[in-house]
Amino acid sequence: MSKNVSENKNDSIKESGEGKTRLKLAIQKSGRLAEESKELLDKCGISFNKSKDQLFCAAQNFPLDVFFVRDDDIPAFVASKVCQVGIVGQNVLNEENILSRNQKLRMVEEILPLGFGRCRLSLAVPHGFEYQGPHSLQGKIIATSYQGILSHYIAQQNIGAEIVDMRGSVEIAPRIGMADAICDLVSSGATLAVNGLKEVETIFQSEAVLIRSPDITAQQNDILNRLITRITGVMQAQSSKYIMLHCPVERVEQIRRVIPGCDSPTILALQGRSDTVAVHAVCNEGIFWETMEQLKSQGASDILVLPIEKMLD
């Protein structure tokens, strides 16, 4: 009996990565950033099998253990060294930093913006509210899930307003008489419109970021650097395109100036052609139909624009 228990324990240790140098990452288990965080890891070539209710799993092909937790718990997981890194919204990180008395939380470092989960924390009022600026909220009641950030803002603006804490459905507060205004996350503004509200002031801009603990071993730091290299490569690939075209030799310089975000394209000779070359370039800016039409007007032909799956400088 004890032998079986020992064998099972050894299997669990092997599966969880204990006994090895591994990096532990906390990401949102469900919600706004959950799927995009998992997609990012997938694009980085990091694979793991996760069942529906699983809160922990070990990557199969990279020294990384992934914890799936509530978004507002991620900063605490990193601060307490349960995990060395995390993916979290700047709004959550900032809110926890303001409200928490944990000094270790303030030492958590934001190391890389990830380019997804963009939103803004904004003030919104009913359409009938005569808003003339932040001072219009003097003496009013504001409902929010972000007491910390809002308190900091109204203190900076020298506004005397009452804050009502609401966890979800903040938009209905003015309609049911709980508040005169709200402060909530906004992406498209559609939810505000449905509830008869208008956005009047942005007080905080947010996106997903990679955070790290200050207490990390040299081996874990090496793994983190590898992870950052992969993430950076994925982000560069997403924002870049590969363009190929044929170009008259005498028009190469003019063509180069039209290709967006490209300083040094690759120029290749074409077999049997002395008057035309092939131009290949990685463009780190958008290539639109207008760009292609402009290239064609400069003498380019056979223009191909291709997506880039992976990049590594």
Number of structural domains (the chain) is: 3
Per-residue confidence in pLDDT tens, the chain, 313 aa: 444 433 433 343 344 444 358 999 999 998 889 999 999 999 999 988 877 778 889 998 999 999 999 998 999 999 998 999 999 999 999 999 898 877 888 889 999 999 999 999 999 999 999 999 999 999 999 999 999 999 999 999 999 999 999 988 899 999 999 999 999 999 888 889 999 999 999 999 999 999 999 889 999 999 999 999 999 999 988 888 899 999 999 999 999 888 887 778 999 999 988 999 999 998 877 778 888 999 999 999 999 999 888 888 7
Asked if 121 and 203 count as a contact pair (C-beta separation under 8 A), the reply is yes
My answer on whether 41 and 105 are in the same domain is: yes
pLDDT for the residue numbered 261: 76
Range(s) of the domain holding residue 192: 119-206
The pLDDT of residue 106 is 84
Residue 170 domain flag: yes
Q: What is the pLDDT of residue 49?
A: 80
| Residue finishing a domain among 186, 218, 237 | 237
Q: Are residues 214 and 291 in the same domain?
A: no
At 16 the pLDDT is 42
Do 134 and 214 lie in one domain? The reply is: no
| CATH number reported for the structural domain that contains residue 225 in this entry | 3.40.190.10
DSSP 51-63: -TT--EEE-SSSS
Residue-level pLDDT at 14: 40
Could you tell me which of 304, 308, 286, 305 has the C-alpha nearest to residue 235? 308
**What pLDDT sits at residue 13?**
36
pLDDT of res. 20: 53
C-alpha 163/C-alpha 141 separation (Å) is 6
Helix (H), strand (E) at residue 75? helix 74-79
> Is residue 252 included in any domain, yes or no?
yes
Question: What are the residues facing 278 on neighbouring strands?
Answer: 246, 268
9 with 110, same domain: the answer is yes
E strands along the chain, which residues?
A: 23-28, 56-58, 64-69, 85-89, 109-113, 119-126, 141-144, 162-165, 181-186, 197-206, 208-212, 241-248, 266-270, 273-283, 301-307
Same domain, 68 and 130: no
Asked whether residue 98 is domain-assigned, the answer is yes
Q: Which two tokens stand for residue 31?
A: 């919600």
- Which strand (E) or helix (H) includes residue 232? helix 218-238
